[in-house]
Chain A
Amino acid sequence: MNDNINISLTVNGQKISRNVAARTNLVDFVRYELELTGSHVGCEHGVCGACTIRVDGSIVRGCLMLAAQADGSKVETIEGLSDSNEITDLQNEFHNSNALQCGFCTPGFLLTAQELLENNPSPSRNEIREFISGNYCRCTGYQAIVDAIEKVAKKRNN
């Protein structure tokens, strides 16, 4: 039995090796082990989307994947996407459109919005709502969030 696992992975472009407890989930690993606290922990059972992290190019629930399962993977968090300027336009537009209030949900929304725009560069408002349906905003800012994503889609297409 392995209560602790050795893992090697890439996080935001940096190679990392650690020994983790088997039960450590991915979002707790990046927050507590790597001190990347931009990914948030909300419901811890896959409902709220605050813990959204990108693994091998696709968003996942950081609370529903073990750190041990990310062994050998390429992991990207809001810090990585921020630093690489990949989502600067989304971040600016969320700001300009008042698409955040307390900001707790925002990293999750940004990663989700980025995956939507990669898959579907010209989403309708309904498609945007459907795609972000797995992310909760408790400041009830959905209208402004949809506005911001729609504006960025239009700008990227120009």
Chain B
Amino acid sequence: MKSPPFSYIRAESLEQAFDLIDQYGEEARILAGGQSLMATLNMRLSTPKILIDINKIGGMDQIKLDNDKIVVGALARHTKVANSSDIKKYAPLVSKALPHIAHQAIRNRGTFGGSIAFADPAAELPAVSLALEASFVLQSRNGIRTLPAKDFFLGLFDTALKKDEIIIAIEIPIIKDDENYSFMELSRRQGDYAIIGIAAQGNIKSGIFSNMRLAYFGAGDRPLIAQNAINILEGERHTAEVIKAVEESLSLDLDPMDDLNGPASMKMHLARVITSRTLAEISA
């Protein structure tokens, strides 16, 4: 299908983007990489009056090391993030997740910030951000605020981003020496949205788990942290009993929905399978 008619303005600066948001309000949508927005327009699921294209705003696609964190500009495209040696070194969980995001032609356009703002519950980067305890830098005309990922995702495609705000960067704490990570995703075709997936990172010292973060996608109406499972793991070794307890606890944390891939019970089963595989990999 073709998208309904809309108008288009290219913002050359954040200032201009804020002006346009003020001017058009609810009728406007921000266009970043467009890899989800354009599809919803073509399917007429979304009918904005005007698109504000922020792709040409300078300096918002940089990846920079800043003391103990790595700062990814919101407009950094997935391919750029995938090719970044700093990301590979300091945020390897992101590198591991990126090949699972759609396909090359889409990764060449899609942006990190766009994926966060869209907040698809089956998308990789929102869950990865939770597992990394990343924060999002949100700017409006009134200033800048930084919000932890855990406070950002509120529900189905619903976030704490206010109507007059734009995500300008993602701040990721760099991986610590005694941390390990893993990422697993089940999908029908390489690059399709996940049936279920997990992004995990945490401390594993002398075989003992601590400060683990298990974040799931495709497991509910938003990316979810499995806090009960994390509590069980704290201070424990990788034993059959611990893993069993973790698997059993997942029904408290996750809330998958029936969809075309299968029933919720199947997804819950698959969540347990990838959780045990992930924890085995992290503790190996």
> Would you give the shortest CB distance from B22 to chain A, in whole angstroms?
15
Q: Does B105 contact A (CB under 8 A)?
A: yes
Q: DSSP majority for the A interface?
A: mixed
Cβ-defined contact, B104 with A115, below 8 A = yes
Segment of A80-88, A91-99, A126-134, A143-151 engaged in the interface with chain B: A126-134
Q: For the complex, count residues of A whose C-beta is within 8 A of B.
A: 34
Q: Once the chains bind, are B38 and A133 in contact (CB under 8 Å)?
A: no
- Is A11 on the interface with B (CB-CB < 8 A)? no
Asked if A60 and B3 sit within 8 Å, CB to CB, the answer is: no
Contact A112 B42 (CB under 8 A): no
Candidates B2, B53, B99; contact of A44 at CB < 8 Å: B2
A138 to chain B, nearest CB (A): 14
* Residues A25 and B38 in contact, CB atoms below 8 Å apart: yes
Q: What are the residues of chain B within 8 A of A115 when measuring CB–CB? A: 104
In the complex the two chains form, is B190's CB within 8 Å of A133's CB?
Answer: yes
Interface size on B, residues (CB 8 A): 35
**CA of A66 to CA of B31 in the docked complex: distance in angstroms?**
10
Per a CB cutoff under 8 Å, which of B5, B35, B105 touches A23? B5
Q: Which of B6-14, B58-66, B171-179, B273-281 contacts A (4 or more CB under 8 A)?
A: B6-14
Say whether B79 faces chain A, with CB atoms less than 8 Å apart. yes
Q: Is B55 an interface residue (CB 8 A)?
A: yes
Complex formed: what's the CA distance from A49 to B31 in Å?
Answer: 21
User: Could you pull out 5 A-B pairs where Cβ atoms are within 8 angstroms?
Assistant: A1-B7, A2-B8, A44-B1, A46-B39, A68-B53
Q: Taking the complex as formed, is A58 at the interface, i.e. its CB lies under 8 A from any CB of chain B?
A: yes
Q: Is B186 an interface residue (CB 8 A)?
A: no
Task: Find out whether the CB atom of A2 lies under 8 angstroms from the CB atom of B7.
Answer: yes
- The CA-CA distance from A58 to B103 in the complex, in Å, is 13
Q: Are A63 and B9 in contact (CB under 8 A)?
A: no
Closest to A116 in B: B104
Residues of A within 8 A of B51 (CB): 22, 66
Nearest-neighbor residue (CB-CB) of B190 within chain A: A133
- Quick one: which of A1-28 are within 8 Å of B by CB? 1-3, 5, 21-23, 25, 28
The answer to whether B103 and A64 have CB atoms under 8 Å apart is no
State the Cβ distance, A64 to closest chain B Cβ, in Å.
Answer: 4
